[in-house]
A and B are shown apart, each in its own frame.
Chain A
Amino acid sequence: MKDQDTRRLLRWGLVAGAVMTFTAAVGMLEAFDDRLLIRPVLSLGYLIMLWFAPVAGYQATNTPVLEGLTRPPSGTRNVAAGAICGLLGGTVLAAFTVLVDTFDLRGVFLPFSSRLVELLTYGLGVPAGLLFTALVPAGLGLVGGTLHLASASLRRRLILASEWVVVVALLEQIFTQVLSRIRLEALAEAIFTLRALEWWAALGVAALVAVISERSRGSLAMVRQRLFASDPRRRTANSVWMAIGVVVFLIVIPQVLGSLLSEVLANVGLFLLMALGLNIVVGLAGMLDLGFVAFFAVGAYTVGVLTSPISPRFAFEWSWWVALPVAIAMSALAGLLVGTPVIRMRGDYLAIVTLGFGEIVRILFLSDWLSPTFGGAQGVQNIPGVPLGFTEVSGVDPEGVLYLAFVFVLLSVWVSWSLQESRIGRAWTALREDETVAEAMGINIVRAKLNAFIVGAVLAGFAGALFAAKLGSVFPSSFELLVSIIILVVVIVGGMGNIPGVAVGAVVLIGVLGGPQVPGLLAEFSEFKLLIYGALLVFMMLRKPEGLVPSVRRSRELHGEELTQDAWLDKQGVLAEAGTATTEGAVNGR
């Protein structure tokens, strides 16, 4: 006990206790207990509650090592620390169990039921089961602490393997679907029973991942090096091949995924379109726009009003393709109208004013005054799909929508990329860095900002047009403030100012967790979606403010000093054992 860092132990133990108690208290343990992940040992509810115990157990002795010092050798100290840490957390949880059991708090906290106590005590009831309530986290903490004894590469493989087991179990839908499409239903049926992974299958997945990760070490770097070969001719050839590969992949994937997953991906595409637009405004030009959904709404309503046969005022019944340019023009106009008055504002003021504008647009569409045109709360209905000559793509055909979304996303990526790499994009970057100086260097900041606003609005309008055709109806309630916020979160979590980052953000947040009013792969989470969003955002702000896939510039901005220092250390050859350093970094980041 003497060589332990008591404060650190105490902190991680209490954090573990708080996380476990919180997840139990908000009802996640109970709500997700029915969803078995690994038969017969682990349900989603227990996973959500207990996952933090081993993490805390590992972190308890994962102290940063200063340059020039060597890490003290791992030993029983780490294991003991992990166990103590877990026990501490478990004790907190046990105390919570006693509290729930003793006092009847159901009137105030609905999730505090007798079933919760039963789950917390593993079905053994209060006095007897409390031992387990405390000891299970302690055991898991001990496991976490034991990880210190493993070599860096073994540790990496263990962590990766357990992560993949969880991913496979959670996203069982994808795996069964894909397996059955490639005629391996038998395999799918064998490893999954009632959506839960069999325990032996879990071990198999873990072993497979461990082997593959060992085999494929460094091959990713090699592929990357090949792709970005310095020889320009080779590079062009490579990028052509890559483009062909992407297109083939995009054509094949909806067929493999089936309609349910295509639907999810199509939603990802819609949100990605909007996020790409917002990325131009926030990520490149540095203007925080919280009312971005307004442009989405304008695009959707324009298409709705012009194409629907029962649109309240103009039943033009135009084709979607004719309405699209109008929708783009209208959202550009909206960008101009919103942009012009607010363009001279900076930072927080801009955010608040755009937030107001976003709400104004929604309320206008809802208002009685405009209801003869936009239908008020009923919105516009019977919007036809997108005619493609041989077929019409609408919401009942998710694969078709997905193809359309792919095309539009590729277009938007092209637009974002080509603007970013042009005179306009440089002006935006300069603007974000230092507005005053940018102006002194001859950049017309009003025009540059309006450009950003309009391009962003057009991309959102694009998304809106597709949304209207997909859903077949538009209501004001689809354009709530929450949508703006979620898109912003997608951009922030993915990596501001970086196109691949935004794509990853959209897939992770919208695809996996689900966006506002659209379910993701983990439809179970819909009730707790915002909670998870919030937790993720806080975590990202603390640990990885530059996003999951950061842009070079952005991480420079946020980690400027560290980077220069690393570069310096690199030069001195201090980071020679890069292997260990990066693995530990990755674990730290968790």
Chain B
Amino acid sequence: MLEIRRLHKSFGGVRALAGLDLRIHSGEIVSVIGPNGAGKTSLFNVVTGFYPADSGDIIFEGTSIHGLESNEITQAGVARTFQNVRLFLNMTVLENVMVAQHCRTRAGVVRAILRTPFLRREEAEIRQRAKEILSFFGSRLVGYRFDQPASALSYANRRRLEIARAMATDPKLLLLDEPVAGMNPRETAELTGLIRRLRDERGLTVVVIEHDMKVVRNVSDRVVVLDHGVKIAEGSYDKVSSHPEVVEAYLGRPVEAG
């Protein structure tokens, strides 16, 4: 589904991605792990068009999305959340999800002014769909929450809303950047289940950046380890966690006697 070939990206002298190769298959849940500064978020930023790659290619469903604007990439079917939650805080919960359906809907200025039947129907659909997506999170974001500003939500609910917003763009591939950061153990367990449901019920392919190894173990079909902008290992959680290079990347090289 997503194929990344020899991807390079530097910021000044810092090489965030140094010839990364990566394949994501349809219907997988892949975790991307690695120490701080390994290039995980940079990978997301380059894939979603936030930064242009210096070289290399990104192929999504057979066509290159390299060099497209980020809204075009979203339109193609890649959605993301942010490490430091970035909601539209002054819009309501419902509006946050409604606005994300922008690229899947069509009514323009003229239709809006004339209030054509097409527009009314589409507006009703947008609203309906937003409510349906929010109900995916159980009772947490529904009912009276619909009309609350996003800024009134708790931290965990903001993370959930961000996922809902990403879902509303109707993606095929969902990139979650540390979705459980700052959550308590119960919320973490709940979200882990939710990530699985995203795949099982909604048929999404999910790539997760995560530091919480319990989540990584529970959720991933496959784990990819990055360090210094390259892939140093991949495979099942058990295989990767005992990989010597991975241990070294996380813990440092043992001091050799002598």
Q: Are B91 and A441 in touch, CB under 8 angstroms?
A: no
- Within 388-432 of A, Cβ neighbours of B (below 8 Å) are at 414-415, 418-419, 422-427, 429-430
Chain A contacts for B95, CB-based, 8 A: 426, 429
Write out the residue numbers on chain B whose beta carbons fall within 8 Å of the beta carbon of A438. Answer: 88, 99
Residues from 429 to 486 in A contacting B, C-beta threshold 8 Å:
429-430, 433-434, 436-445, 451, 455
| Docked-complex contact B108 and A444, CB < 8 angstroms | no
> Is A442 a contact partner of B100 (Cβ separation < 8 A)?
yes
Beta-carbon contact of A429 and B88 below 8 Å: yes
Name the residue of chain B whose CB is nearest to the CB of A428.
B99
- The reply to whether A442 and B123 form a contact with Cβ atoms under 8 Å apart is no
- Interface check A583, CB cutoff 8 A: no
Q: Is A368 an interface residue (CB 8 A)?
A: no
Q: Is A423 touching B123 in the complex (CB atoms < 8 A)?
A: yes
The answer to whether B74 and A440 touch across the interface, beta carbons within 8 angstroms, is: yes
CA distance A441 to B113 in the complex (A): 24
A181 proximity list for chain B (CB < 8 A): none
Count of interface residues, chain B, beta-carbon cutoff 8 Å? 41
CB distance A433 to B102 under 8 Å? no
Q: Name the contact of B71 in the complex, choosing from A424, A444, A455 (C-beta under 8 A).
A: A444
**Segment at the interface with B among A87-95, A105-113, A140-148, A553-561:** A553-561
B67 contacts the other chain (CB 8 A): no
CB-nearest residue of chain A relative to B48?
A440
Q: Which residues of B contact A429 (CB under 8 A)?
A: 88, 90-91, 95, 99
Q: Is A153 an interface residue (CB 8 A)?
A: no
Contact B122 A423 (CB under 8 A): yes
Q: Is the CB of B113 within 8 A of A442?
A: no
A444 to B72, CA, bound (A): 8
Which B-chain residue is minimally distant from A564 (CB atoms)?
B152
Q: Which residues of A contact B71 (CB under 8 A)?
A: 439-445
Contacts of A426 in B (CB 8 A): 91, 95, 98-99, 102
Closest to B100 in A: A441
* Residues 26-62 (chain B) with a chain A CB within 8 angstroms: 48-50
- Name A452's closest neighbour in chain B (CB-CB): B109
Does B209 have its Cβ within 8 Å of any Cβ on chain A? no
A415 touching B86, Cβ below 8 Å: no
With both chains docked as a complex, state the minimum distance between the C-beta of B129 and any C-beta of chain A, in angstroms.
12
Give A574 to B79 CA distance when docked, in angstroms.
44
Residues in B neighbouring A414, C-beta threshold 8 A? 113
Q: Does B218 interact with chain A (Cβ within 8 Å)?
A: no
Q: How far is the CB of B207 from chain A (nearest CB, A)?
A: 15
B64-84, CB under 8 A of A: which get 1 and which 0?
Answer: 000001110011000110100
Q: Is the CB of B74 within 8 A of A556?
A: no
Complex formed: what's the CA distance from A196 to B115 in Å?
Answer: 51
Complex CA distance for A418 and B107, rounded to whole angstroms? 12
1/0 per residue, CB under 8 A from B, across A529-565: the answer is 0000000000000000000000001001100100010
**In the complex the two chains form, is A422's CB within 8 Å of B102's CB?**
no
Contact assessment for B115 and A560 in the assembled complex, using a CB-CB cutoff below 8 Å: no
Known contacts being A422-B112, A423-B102, A443-B103, is A437 close to B88, with CB within 8 Å? yes
Chain A CB within 8 A of B232 CB: no
Bound state CA distance, A414 and B114, in angstroms?
10
Q: Which residue of B lies closest to A429 (CB)?
A: B91
Number of A-B contacts (CB under 8 A): 105
B240 within 8 A of A: no
B133 at the interface (CB under 8 A from A): no
From A434, A441, A455, B169 is in contact (CB under 8 Å) with A441
Contact indicator B75/A442 (Cβ below 8 Å): yes
Q: How far is the CA of A286 from the CA of B61 in the complex (A)?
A: 36
Contact A423/B107 with A436-B50, A440-B48 known, Cβ cut-off 8 Å:
yes
B149 within 8 A of partner (CB)? yes
A424 and B109 contacting across the interface, CB-CB below 8 Å? yes
CB pair B169 A442 closer than 8 Å: yes
Contact among A430, A451, A553, A560 with B99 in the assembled complex (CB-CB below 8 Å): A430
Q: Are B74 and A441 in contact (CB under 8 A)?
A: yes
**Cβ contacts under 8 Å, B103 to chain A:** 441-444
A440 touches B80 (CB 8 A): yes
Provide the bound-state CA to CA distance between A414 and B115, in Å: 10
**In the complex, are the beta carbons of A418 and B102 less than 8 A apart?**
no
Given contacts A433-B88, A556-B90, contact A418 B99 (CB under 8 A): no
Separation of A234 and B24 alpha carbons in the complex (Å): 55
Chain B residues with Cβ below 8 Å from A442 are 71, 74-75, 100, 102-104, 169
Interface core residue of B48, B71, B89, B105 (most chain A CB under 10 Å): B71
Please name the residue on chain A nearest to B171 by beta carbon: A442
- Across the interface, which residues of B come within 8 angstroms of A564, CB to CB? 151-152
CB of B15, distance to nearest CB on chain A (Å): 23
Q: Is B16 an interface residue (CB 8 A)?
A: no
| Chain B residues near A441 (CB-CB < 8 A) | 71, 74, 79, 99-100, 102-103, 165-166, 169
In the assembled complex, which residues on chain A have CB atoms less than 8 Å from the CB atom of B169?
A: 441-442
Q: Is B119 an interface residue (CB 8 A)?
A: yes
Indicate whether B126 reaches chain A with its CB closer than 8 angstroms.
yes
Q: Chain A: which residue is nearest B126 at the CB level?
A: A423
Give the distance in Å from the alpha carbon of A557 to the alpha carbon of B88 in the complex. 11
Within the complex, the shortest CB–CB distance from B114 to chain A, in Å, comes to 8
By a CB distance below 8 angstroms, the chain B residues around A444 are: 69, 71, 103
Expressed in whole angstroms, the Cα–Cα distance for A422 and B122 within the complex equals 10
- Report whether B112 and A553 are in contact in the complex, using a CB–CB cutoff of 8 Å: no
The distance from the CB of B193 to the nearest CB of chain A, in whole angstroms, is 25
- With most chain B CB atoms within 10 A of its CB, the pick from A419, A423, A436, A455 is A423
Distance from B121 Cβ to chain A, minimum over Cβ atoms (Å): 12
Instruction: Evaluate contact between B113 and A415: CB separation under 8 angstroms.
Output: yes
How far apart are B157's CB and chain A's nearest CB, in angstroms?
A: 14
Chain B 148-188 interface residues, beta-carbon cutoff 8 Å to A: 149, 151-152, 165-166, 169
The answer to whether residues A422 and B100 also contact, given A433-B89, A433-B90 and a CB cut-off of 8 A, is no
Is B113 in contact with A439, judged by CB distance below 8 angstroms? no
Are A553 and B113 in contact (CB-based, < 8 A)?
A: no
Which of A418, A434, A443, A556 lies in contact with B86, CB distance below 8 A? A434
Contact, CB under 8 Å: B108 / A439: no
Could you list 19 further interchain pairs (A-B, Cβ under 8 angstroms) beyond the known A434-B88, A440-B48? Answer: A418-B112, A426-B91, A426-B95, A427-B99, A429-B88, A429-B91, A430-B99, A433-B91, A436-B86, A440-B49, A441-B100, A442-B74, A442-B102, A442-B103, A443-B103, A445-B71, A451-B108, A560-B151, A564-B152
Q: 4 smallest A-B Cβ distances: which pairs? A: A442-B103, A422-B112, A442-B74, A433-B88
What are 12 A-B interface contacts by the 8 Å CB criterion? A418-B113, A422-B112, A422-B123, A423-B112, A429-B95, A433-B90, A434-B88, A440-B74, A442-B103, A442-B169, A443-B103, A444-B103
Binding site for B on A (CB under 8 A): 414-415, 418-419, 422-427, 429-430, 433-434, 436-445, 451, 455, 553, 556-557, 560, 564, 567
